Each structure stands twice: as structure tokens, then as C-alpha cells.
Structure 1
């Protein structure tokens, strides 16, 4: 690290507090704010475009909405909670997020109904200027994006969609003012959201038609309410909830081996899902229609107990074909068959490949982050990008997965906090990223996706890959490996400096673009 200028206002503990702007008050933004408050003296401002906290759990309010990961894993490591069920519902997760902001005293740091449009780096002052949708300007020493990955709905481009005369909306923008009782409802999609929506609607509507472009592997969730005795045990016994969390993580780590198409675990997961189909679906044609022909893990694995049984209902029809066109009264499938519908519900997913699409981030030389990612979104450890100093990303490229996204977000938050704390304690103005380390990291990611997560590229439609074939969203190993990477590789890729111009590489001047990072682990650990 270069010589520190102690006269700079950001340097040393006797100077003013560093200012950190966080974009998004979902689980990532909350985790970051809590850890910043615990480890630094930073002045924190969180900008949230919605009228409440929780991110995706604020936005998604469709019937049946709940997490498909056990509650004790899908929660913060630093906040024990009296979960009433094995899998938390959307209202419970919203309450959890809100209570976290109150318990850790960050509620007053959040500005709700405030959308960030732009963050501009200034070389001379080594600061970012954040501009909100209303034109307000705010200056920060560091900016962290926590806008999430699954928050921009994907709307299909079917011919005739605009001409549909019934009610139409996306599941993530649910319109609760409509009474669906007695209606003919079409749900398009059979992903993680649709398999919750369909069973919740089946008992309320006159007829439900579910359109399936391609089946997904579905395993039973085994959700249930905790008994009073279980809740008391987890509430009162020290470390009981944490021990259960660690046990669930260990099980998930073993299960992750199934992403290798050559593994015995791959066969085991397919057999488990096939047995679930055979046990729960009565009609042989429906059983065949929902059985995938590709490897388990090619799509995001779906965990749901009630979807298959709902297909047995007399008022539910599964159409195992894609929608190709919409008429004013219904939908036409790939076989040219039209089916009438009063209500069209789009469970057509999101646009996860378009990272930070709602915010214009400008780094050195006024370079746009979207321009830097024109060919492919990449970030060192999924968190930092060369040429965008003092800027961190939570839920960035190739960080989705790894058992629990909450755990992944905590590791990313801790990386950012360590960097900010180093500037705070030892001085300096800028933390940037070594381009050669990003190149090596990206090469390592691609290598791991090819070997340890080959199922993700085994011939299905998924949201992971670009048109050119690069997987830009998924983390290819377990959370344990990500923990090690964020803990020990950051010091090799981050460059701390007093200079505001482009810093020197922290590594060798040799070209590393073709060499992957060496991050080894025993098979037992992974």
C-alpha cells in the first residue's frame, strides 16, 4: 500500500467518519448495514425504492408465497428468530426484515420510496455522487449495490399480448384487487413461483390452466409448522438454532455434489424426484409430461410439495407446451390450440443476467458499468470491478446459489466491511481491483462450472447463461468454498491506495488471463 496522507478527511480514526451509500434495503443491504455499524464508524444511508424493507419479500405477494429453503438457513447468522414453520412465509420474512432494522438500530438510516438512478465517481475528491429519481444529490466515500438479482420481471413478447381483454399481470406485481373466484385462470410457467401460485389458486377458481414450456425437476419440501415443544427448544436452548443451521448447511453441501452429472448424487436426486412424480400424480400422461429429459440441476431445482397433487384436481389442466400467441379471449399454444381465459398470470421469471439494470454506475473516466459488462458481467469474487473504485456489489455475477443466498450475501457484506474498515483504520482513499486477478477469477469460475457444476449446462432453458453460452449468475461450488474465497483471496485482488488515478496492479506484470485462480479443497470439504 502506498504512503498514507493523514491529512485526508477519510484517513485515520481521528478524522470524520466515512460515508457509505447502500442501494437497496433487502436482506443484503440490511446485513451490510448491521455489519458496518458493528465494525466501523461509518455514516450509513440506505436508499430503498419501495415503501418497505425486505427486497424481493416486499415485492412478491402472490398467493402461496414462501421460501423454499429451511427458515434456519434462510436467515441471518446474527439474528436468532422464533420461526413458526420449517419454511417461512412471505409475511414472516417481511416481519423478520423489519424487526432486524429495529433490533440493530438501522431503521433511521433507511430512506424509503427513494430510487437511485445514478452513481458517479469523481477522481479529484475520490467520492461518488448518488442521484435519486427526484434529482437529489448525495456524496459518499463508498457505494454498495444491493439491488438484488431477481427483481426485474421478464415479460414475454408474445404477439397479441397487448390485445388481451381480460386481467393480466406478473406474479411479482400481483394485483390483489381482482376477485379470481369463479374465473378461468391461466398461469404461464412452472418454475419456483408458479408451483406455489397454482396450488393456492386451484381451490378458488373455476378452472386453472397451467402452461409448461419445459418441465423442471421437483422434490418435496416437507414443510410443516413447528410444534410448540420444538419452538421452545430452538428458542430457549443456547446454540440449538445455530447447530440446526450448521447441520442443514452440511446436508446441502453434500447435496451439491449432484450438480456434477457424473456423480452418484446426480442419480440419487433424479430418482428422488421421479419417485415423487410416481407417488403423487395419478394420470400417466401427466406424469410423462412433467418428467424432464435433462440432468437434475440444469434449471434451478424446484422444491414444492403441493404442485403435483394440484394437477390431480378436475378443475386443473396442464398444457405441456409453450404459449406462442395471445388472443383477446385466451392463449394459443405451440400446437395451435386456443384456450379461453378470464385472467392471465405471468409466472415468466426475471432478468437476472441484466445486473444493476436499474442504476447507472459510472467509474473512472466516466465509464459505465453496463459498458464494461457489454460482453459479459464479471466481478472479482462477484463483488468488485476494476475501474470502479470504492464500489461493491452484493449478489453480483456468479454468486447465486451456494446453499443459501443469505449466507452468500453475508460473506459479500463482510468483504466490503473489511475493505472499508481498513481505509478507516489505516488511512488511504481508494480501494480498486486488480484486472489480472479478475481475469484469473473468471477463468476459475468457468473451469469449476465445467467440472463441478456440469449439470447447469446440460441442455435445458435456464436463466443462467448468455446467448454466447457463458454462465453469469451461478456460483459453481458450495458456500464453504465461497467463504474461503472471500476470506483469503480478497487481499490478492484488492488494491488500497492514496492515489485516485488508476492504481498499479497488486500482482505480477505477467498476463494472467488464461490462468485460473488456484483455490483447492479436499472432496470432504466440498
Structure 2
């Protein structure tokens, strides 16, 4: 039996959230921490998601840690470059030496008497920490629908999150289930390499052209100059921030600008009227995640690609392939599940036991909720990175993560100066914050745009998104309120 390992802070997850947490802790002089990573490698999303065509959909100079500039090769970095950047950050800050790999968390529990968290893992033993930061991320638990007969398929199958690079799909008959952001990148990357491609779309997405460009060697050198890099970041930031006006305050602007541009893009790239009809959404643009792609529509228009919509969806799967709702048997060699993640109700995938033995799953039974999307009553010294209502549909998620870090480090600083051992958000403060969030959400396209999306929990509440400008969230997270917290 392994001895219990004790630290001041445990961080769960080694993606950008965990990296930002570790960097901020070290800036505050806190070095007694350990990162727990469930996989056998570090890095999170951009080291795990290596499917063909994988790339970021936010401009790279903004989709990066503010203190870690990088000479990006193009505006929207592809997976291999994002992986290099991630490993760069990890190595620069010596995070490998502070990380335990293969440490899949089985359960965490608060010890009320001595005020610390016990973290049980499957294979790495037990850990103890005064403070627990969950940075496992909302896009880390893949979902594969349980289609009838799914397990009888004798071909190859996997989720885009776990792409099997040992399998050669070239010249094969392939089915891709899903049509969201990941599928929109995989489809153009494989369409010209496979014999036949069947794409199963539950509902179409709005698509806008991807304004990508390669940076010249001179531009890359200029990106290494911190003041210039910072200026470019802010230029991109403010250009993206203006989108919130359409998402929340002006549906007319959204229709006149974004939706009109998307319809022109569709008309220009899809000459076939029947295919164009299948690809035209019936909800307001922005209600679901907008896809940025200049290659998706041409790929779907290829002769060897067949788009199946809801009326021609999947009835069942058998050993040979897929049976459609129209009764057609489609023999395939590979099924790719591009079916998303448990990003709302499954924000934290392991049991969390707080004060009085209460489970987080009980507290979140109706829908996930947290003060600043970060702190939860009855769960002292627990902080959730990218928790409920911290997602951003118009700009970089890293901007919000870094804003959360400001709140978390303020909590730790106040805890230290108070001479107490635990800090906990007051129930009334969390309740007031949550009511404000969902009142504001009612004004947004994510709630009223006429679609059902992964932004919503099973309750119908929009959980994935913050209903406003990201600078509003930063302002809220930067203004620590002692009266909103209990010190013990």
C-alpha cells in the first residue's frame, strides 16, 4: 500500500487550466503543490485530441497564456503546433517534475475535523491537500451514444478524442457520426482519402469562412517581441468581444451581419440545392457553436461523401455497419464518433464529498452551479476551473481561466492572512450570483435562439456559457468580496 502523499495544493488536470493554476501558484510563492494527470502524458486537450484536421478556432495569439508569448506559424494553429506550445510551457516552468501521471481520481472527500481534502486515485495512491483545484476541463469526458447494436460492429470504431493513428483509413468506407466542431475539421481532412464517407448530421450548424493565414518569418519574429505580441492580443480580443452585442443585445445585428454572411458562404460553396437545404439551420446563428471553416462545404459536396440528416439518421448498428432510418444498410470499415463531451452535467467526472457528507452530484442534481463558476457552498477550499457558466463562445477560454486564477489566488491570499484553514463561499452569495447569471442568460441567443445544444444541461439551463462580455467576468472575478465568504 502506497503512503499518503501530502501537499498544500493538489491540481487535478494538466491542460491549460492546470498549467495556469500552477504558474499562478508559483508566482504567489506557493511551490508545495502537485498536479494529478489521469493519462500517461501531460497537456490536456491539445495533446489528447490529435484527429486529422484538429486546429484551434480562436486566433492563436489570443488563444495562449498571456505570460507565454509564442512565434506562431499561422493565425489559427493546428494541433501539432498547439502541442509543441503546451509542452513548451510545461518544460519552461518545470511542471513535469510536479506531476503524477496515471493518477485517475476515483473520489475526493473533505475532512471536516482537520480541514483538508483526501484524493483517492486508481493507481497512484492517496493524496492529501489543504486546497483542491479541479482543472480537468469540460471537454475531457467523451460521449458515445448507445445506438442499438453498437457493440456488435466488427469494423474499427473510436471517438475523435481517442483517434487511433495505427488504423489506416485511406481507401476505406468511413462513417462519421456528428457534425459539430470536431467533425467539421475531420471531414475535409479525410474526404479525399477515403473510398466513401457517410456523415450523420443530427442538425446543421451555421458555418462562417475561416480567416486563416500563415505568418511570414518576419511576422513570427515580431510575435516574439512582447509589446507587439500584447498589442496584437488586445486587437484580436476587442474585435472578438464585439460579437457579444449580437449574441445578447441585438438579434438584428446578428442576422444582418453574421447570419447573412453565413448564408452567402453556404450559397457560394454548395451549388446543389438539395444539399444546401440539408445544411441550412432553422435556428438563429450563435444559438449553437458557430463553425469556422472554408473547407467543410466543398468536402461535403464531393461525389464520395453522403450527408444523412435527421430523417435519414441511424436506426441501429450491426456487425457490417449502419442501418439508417430509411432501412438502408451501409457497410463501413470505420465508424468515427464525433459526438461531443459531457460538458455540462458532467463538469466533474468523479465523486466529490463535501461538508456533512454531501455529494456534489446531489447539490448539482438540478443543474451545475457555482459562485463565479468556481466556488461551491459546503465544499471549502475547492475551486473548479472552467466550471459552470464560464464558457465563452466568442473569444479565448484562456482569458476566463486566467480571470478565475485571479479569484483563486485572492482566496488563498485572504486565507493565509486570516490565519484560518478553510474558505467557503456563502450559500446566499452563490444563490444571488446564479440567479443573476440565469436572468442574464434569458437575454442571450444561447437560451432563446431556437436550438438545443451541448451548452444546455438536462434541466434546460444553459450551463456552458457566461452570458455577457468576458471583461465583465474578469471584473467580477477580480473584485474579491470577503463578506461573500466564510473563513474557518
TM-score range for the pair, normalised by the shorter chain length? over 0.9
Q: Does 1:138 align with 2:127?
A: yes
Secondary structure at the aligned position of 2:89 is classed as helix
Secondary structure at the aligned position of 2:352 is classed as strand
For residue 104 of structure 1, report the CA deviation from its aligned partner.
2.2
Q: Which moved more, 1:484-493 or 1:385-394?
A: 484-493
CA contact (8 A) 2:248 2:467 kept: no
For residue 235 of structure 1, report the CA deviation from its aligned partner.
2.0
Q: Does 1:335 align with 2:323?
A: no
Tell me the residue number matched to 2:423: 431
In structure 2, how many angstroms separate the alpha carbons of the residues matched to 1:164 and 1:426? 60
CA deviations 1:22-46 (Å, max 9, x no partner) are 0000100100100110013341100
- What is the aligned residue count? 479
Q: Does 1:450 align with 2:442?
A: yes
For residue 337 of structure 1, report the CA deviation from its aligned partner.
3.0
Tell me the residue number matched to 2:3: none
Q: Write the mapping of 1:53-72 to structure 2, written as runs, cut at 5 A.
A: 53-72=42-61
Q: With structure 1 as the length reference, what TM-score do the two structures score?
A: 0.88
Q: Sort the Cα spacing of 1:261 and 1:215 in 2 relative to 1 into closer, same or farther, 3 A.
A: farther
Tell me the residue number matched to 1:349: 340
The alignment yields a C-alpha RMSD, in angstroms, of 1.7
Unmatched segments (≥5 aa) in structure 2:
1-5
CA deviations 1:301-346 (Å, max 9, x no partner) are 1112211111222221222233222232222333333322121111
For residue 280 of structure 1, report the CA deviation from its aligned partner.
1.1
Of 399, 406, 410, 2:398 maps to 406
Of 170, 173, 188, 1:181 maps to 170
For residue 285 of structure 1, report the CA deviation from its aligned partner.
1.3
CA deviations 1:458-514 (Å, max 9, x no partner) are 22231122333211221111211110111125444223x2x3xxxxxxxxxxxxxxx
Q: Which moved more, 1:434-443 or 1:108-117?
A: 108-117
For residue 287 of structure 1, report the CA deviation from its aligned partner.
1.3
CA contact (8 A) 2:63 2:397 kept: yes
CA contact (8 A) 1:210 1:317 kept: yes
Secondary structure at the aligned position of 1:168 is classed as strand
CA deviations 1:366-425 (Å, max 9, x no partner) are 211112111111100000000000110001011111621111111112211111122234
CA contact (8 A) 1:380 1:493 kept: no
CA contact (8 A) 2:117 2:128 kept: yes
Secondary structure at the aligned position of 2:34 is classed as strand
In structure 1, how many angstroms separate the alpha carbons of the residues matched to 2:279 and 2:478? 42
Of 456, 461, 475, 1:465 maps to 456
Tell me the residue number matched to 2:301: 312
Unmatched segments (≥5 aa) in structure 1:
1-16, 500-526
Secondary structure at the aligned position of 1:151 is classed as coil
Q: Does 1:120 align with 2:112?
A: no
Tell me the residue number matched to 1:441: 433
Tell me the residue number matched to 2:470: 479
For residue 98 of structure 1, report the CA deviation from its aligned partner.
1.4
Tell me the residue number matched to 1:523: none
Tell me the residue number matched to 1:365: 356
In structure 2, how many angstroms separate the alpha carbons of the residues matched to 1:490 and 1:116? 32
Q: Which moved more, 1:40-49 or 1:429-438?
A: 40-49
Tell me the residue number matched to 1:241: 229
CA contact (8 A) 1:20 1:141 kept: yes
CA deviations 1:161-191 (Å, max 9, x no partner) are 1121211111111111111121111111110
Q: Write the mapping of 1:248-287 to structure 2, written as runs, cut at 5 A.
A: 248-260=236-248, 262-267=250-255, 268-287=257-276
CA contact (8 A) 1:155 1:346 kept: yes
For residue 261 of structure 1, report the CA deviation from its aligned partner.
7.4
For residue 265 of structure 1, report the CA deviation from its aligned partner.
2.5
In structure 2, how many angstroms separate the alpha carbons of the residues matched to 1:383 and 1:154? 24
Secondary structure at the aligned position of 2:442 is classed as helix
Tell me the residue number matched to 2:485: 494
Q: Sort the Cα spacing of 1:18 and 1:326 in 2 relative to 1 into closer, same or farther, 3 A.
A: closer
